[in-house]
């Protein structure tokens, strides 16, 4: 039961926490410069290497960046959606692979979230979003494509759909769900026949989105979900039989 009485964390972790809190609370504002490493070391009564370890922790979370030179130092980062994507995707990918989330579970989540974007996207999608989707569909129909390239194009297609909703928060959240599935999708070999089916479904979705038809878009996504799961089930079954 002696699980862990608030075990004294490392000094560098404590300092990182203190600075992180200051950023979150707004005591340190965006683009503001932190005290120099020497000053921080003095303030916290630790050595400079310890301060540096704390700063590296924060840099790893994109909370600060450092700059060398006379007017250099550590600056509070503006956490942009674009920058946060990468972290979000890395974390989501690892979560899926390390926890052995089944393909079905990940797939279910992904399409549930995508369907959540459908109403907004069919309302707000720009011609640009449609053009991107059409272009990706065209690419997916080309014969010489590797499975990896096909999956990458698939991700691009769905990102265009999601971005069409015009809500950066949605795009951010969906980035994790959609892109993190790519490694799982890459485990699948797509036959010419299954690619044909997917391209047809993609076309149906793009058409529905162009017509601003929410119901049709949603149904298209659902059809794509069941088709994707069917293909995956087939691939996994064949693989299991071979082993």
Partner DNA sequence: ACTTTTTTAAATGTCTGACAAATGGAAAAC
Partner DNA sequence: GTTTTCCATTTGTCAGACATTTAAAAAAGT
Show contacts with DNA in window 27-86 (CB under 7 A).
34, 36-38, 45-50, 52-53, 55, 66-74
Give the residue with the Cβ less far from DNA, 52 or 115.
52
| 234 touching DNA, by CB under 7 A | no
Give the residue with the Cβ less far from DNA, 66 or 93.
66
Single out the residue of 163, 160, 180 nearest to residue 171, CA to CA.
163
- Distance, CA of 136 to CA of 132 (rounded, Å): 6
Cβ 67 to DNA shortest distance, Å? 6
Which tokens is 141 given?
């129909």
Cβ 95 to DNA shortest distance, Å? 24
| 163 touching DNA, by CB under 7 A | no
Residues that bind a copy of itself (CB under 8 A): 12, 16, 20, 23-24, 26, 30, 49, 52-54, 56-61, 63, 78-81, 84, 87-88, 90-99, 101, 105-106, 108-110, 112-113, 115-117, 119-120, 165, 167-170, 172-173, 176-177
| 5 touching DNA, by CB under 7 A | no
Give the residue with the Cβ less far from DNA, 56 or 138.
56
3-state secondary structure the chain: CCCCCCCCCCHHHHHHHHHHHHHHHCCCCCCCECCCHHHHHHHHCCCHHHHHHHHHHHHHCCCEEEECCCCCEEEECCCCHHHHHHHHHHHHHHHHHHCCCCHHHHHHHHHHHHHHHHHHHHHHCCHHHHHHHHHHHHHHHCCCCCHHHHHHHHHHHHHHHHHCCCCHHHHHHHHHHHHCCHHHHHCCCCCHHHHHHHHHHHHHHHHHHHCCCHHHHHHHHHHHHHHHHHHHHHHHHHHHHHC
Residues 10, 82, 128, 148: which binds DNA (CB under 7 A)?
Answer: 10
45 binds, among DNA, a copy of itself, none (CB under 5 to 8 A by kind): DNA
69 binds, among DNA, a copy of itself, none (CB under 5 to 8 A by kind): DNA
Cβ 99 to a copy of itself shortest distance, Å? 7
Write out the residues near DNA by the rule CB under 7 A: 10-12, 34, 36-38, 45-50, 52-53, 55, 66-74
């Amino acid at each position: 039961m002696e699980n862990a009485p608030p075990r004294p964390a490392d000094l560098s972790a404590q300092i990182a926490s203190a600075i992180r809190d200051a950023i979150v609370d707004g005591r340190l504002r965006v683009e503001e410069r932190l005290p120099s490493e020497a000053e921080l070391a003095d303030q916290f009564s630790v050595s400079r290497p310890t301060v540096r370890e704390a700063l590296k922790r924060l840099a790893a979370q994109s909370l600060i960046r450092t700059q060398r030179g006379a007017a250099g130092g550590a600056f509070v980062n503006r956490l942009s959606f674009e920058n946060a994507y990468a972290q979000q995707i890395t974390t989501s990918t690892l979560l899926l692979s390390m926890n052995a989330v089944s393909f079905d579970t990940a797939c279910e989540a992904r399409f549930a979230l995508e369907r959540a974007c459908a109403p907004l996207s069919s309302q707000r999608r720009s011609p640009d979003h449609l053009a991107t989707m059409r272009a990706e569909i065209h690419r997916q129909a080309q014969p010489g494509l590797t499975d990896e390239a096909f999956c990458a194009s698939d991700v691009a297609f769905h990102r265009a759909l999601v971005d069409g909703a015009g809500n950066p928060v949605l795009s951010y959240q969906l980035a994790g769900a959609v892109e993190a599935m790519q490694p799982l999708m890459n485990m699948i070999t797509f036959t010419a026949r299954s690619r044909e089916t997917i391209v047809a479904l993609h076309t149906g979705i793009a058409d529905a989105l162009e017509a601003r038809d929410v119901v049709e878009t949603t149904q298209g996504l659902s059809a794509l979900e069941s088709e994707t799961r069917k293909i995956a089930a087939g691939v996994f079954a064949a693989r299991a039989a071979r082993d």
